[in-house]
Amino acid sequence: MDPLVRDLAALLSDRAVSHDAADRAAYAHDLWPRQLIAARASMPRPAGPRAVVWPETDAQLQAVVRYAVSKGVQLIPYGAGSGVVGAIQPGGDALAVDMKRMRAMRSLDVARGRCEVDAGWLGEHFEARLRRRGATLGHFPSSIYCSTVGGWVATRSAGQCSGRYGKIEDMVLAVEGVLADGSAFRAAAPRAGEVDLRPLLVGSEGTFGFLTRATLRVWPAPAGWEGVAFTFGAMRDAWTAIRAMYQAGLRPAVTRLYDPFDTWLFLQGSTNHGARPDDAPSPGRAQPRVEALARFVLDHPRVVNGVAHTLADRVYGRSLLLVVFEHAEGEDPREAVEKARALCRSQGGRDAGDAPWKRWLVRRHAVSYRQPPTFSRGVWVDTMEVAAPWSRLEALYDGVREALGGGGFVMAHMSHAYPDGCSIYFTFAGASKTDDDAARTYEATWRRALAAAHAAGGTVAHHHGVGRSKRGAMGLEWGAGVRVLEALRSAADPHGVMVRGALIPDAEEAVGAGPAARDGVVVDAVSRLAEVPVEASMATVRDALAREGFTLDDGTFEGTVRAWLVAQRGTHADPVEHAVAGWRGRTTDGAGMGWNAAPRRATGPDLLPLLLRDARFGVLERVSLRVRGGDEVGPRWIAPCDEGDGEATDANLAAWIDRAATAMRA
Give per-residue pLDDT as tens, 124-149.
999 999 999 999 999 999 999 999 99
pLDDT higher than threshold 80 for residue 289 = no
**Alpha helices, H only, 191-287:** 198-201, 235-247, 260-270
Question: In the beta sheet, which residues pair with residue 580?
Answer: 625
Please give the mean pLDDT across all residues of the chain.
Answer: 89
Please determine, for residue 296, whether its predicted confidence score (pLDDT) is greater than 60.
no
Q: What is the pLDDT of residue 59?
A: 97
Which residues, 6+ apart, have CB-to-CB distance to 134 below 8 Å?
A: 110, 220, 221
Question: Domains along the chain?
Answer: 3-98 (3.30.43.10), 108-220 (3.30.465.10), 222-364+372-458 (3.40.462.40)
pLDDT band at 177 (very low <50, low <70, confident <90, very high): very high
Question: Is there a contact between 211 and 154 (Cβ–Cβ < 8 Å)?
Answer: yes
d(CA 603, CA 593): 14
Closest CA to 410 of 392, 393, 394, 398: 398
Handedness of CA 504, 663, 197, 127 (dihedral sign): positive
Sequence-distant (6+) residues with CB within 8 A of 144 are: 123, 124, 127, 159, 365
Residue range 375-380: mean pLDDT, rounded: 65
pLDDT, tens only, 243-258: 999 999 999 999 999 9
For residue range 305-326, list pLDDT tens digits in order. Answer: 666 666 655 656 799 999 999 9
Angstrom distance (rounded) from CA 586 to CA 310: 46
Nearest in space to 414 (alpha carbons), one of 283, 251, 318, 226: 283
pLDDT on residue 353: 96
Q: Within 10 A of 369 (CB to CB), how many other CB atoms are there?
A: 9
Q: Which pLDDT value is given to residue 273? A: 37
| Angle of CA points 467, 469, 475, to nearest 5° | 80
pLDDT digits (tens, 9 = 90+) for 91-102: 778 999 999 999
pLDDT value at position 498?
96
Question: How do residues 410-457 score in pLDDT, each as one tens digit?
Answer: 889 999 999 999 999 999 887 777 777 888 888 899 999 999 999 999
Give the residue from 632, 639, 661, 604 showing the smallest Cα distance to 136.
639
Min mean pLDDT across 27-41, 171-185, 525-539, 623-637 is at 27-41
Closest CA to 599 of 579, 615, 617, 613: 579
220, containing H or E segment: strand 219-220
Q: Which residues of 135-155 are buried (b: 16+ CB within 10 A; e: fewer)?
A: bbbbbbbbbbebbbbbbbbbb
| Model pLDDT, residue 631 | 87
pLDDT confidence band for 569 (50 / 70 / 90): confident
Q: What is the mean pLDDT of residues 191-202?
A: 94
**Between 263 and 342, where is the model more confident?**
342
Name which of 660, 651, 646, 658 is nearest 174 in CA terms. 646
Residues 6+ apart with CB under 8 A from 272: 279, 280, 281
Enclosing H/E stretch for 397: helix 393-405
Does position 284 have pLDDT exceeding 50, yes or no? no
Lowest-confidence range among 172-181, 488-497, 632-641? 632-641
Given a cut of 90, whether residue 117 has pLDDT beyond it is yes
Give dist(CA 559, CA 540) in Å, integer: 10
- Which stretches of 221-320 are DSSP H helices? 235-247, 260-270, 288-295, 301-315
Tell me what the mean pLDDT of segment 31-41 comes to: 78
To 5 degrees, how large is the angle CA 287–CA 288–CA 290?
65
Model pLDDT, residue 21: 92
Q: Up-side HSE of residue 207: CA atoms within 13 Å toward CB?
A: 31
Percent of the chain with pLDDT over 90: 71
Residue 221 near residue 161, CB atoms below 8 Å: no
pTM: 0.93
CA dihedral 97, 103, 107, 110 (to 10 degrees): 110
Confidence of residue 275 (pLDDT cuts 50, 70, 90): very low
Query: What single-letter amino acid sits at 646?
Result: G
| Secondary structure (DSSP) of 68-116 | HHHHT-EEEEES-S--SS------TTEEEEE-TT---EEEEETTTTEEE
Q: What b/e sequence results for 619-643 when a residue is b if at least 16 CB atoms lie within 10 Å of its CB, and e otherwise? A: ebbbbbbbbbeeebeebeebbebeb
The mean per-residue pLDDT over the stretch 204-227 comes to 97
Whether the CB-CB separation of 394 and 421 falls below 8 Å is answered with no
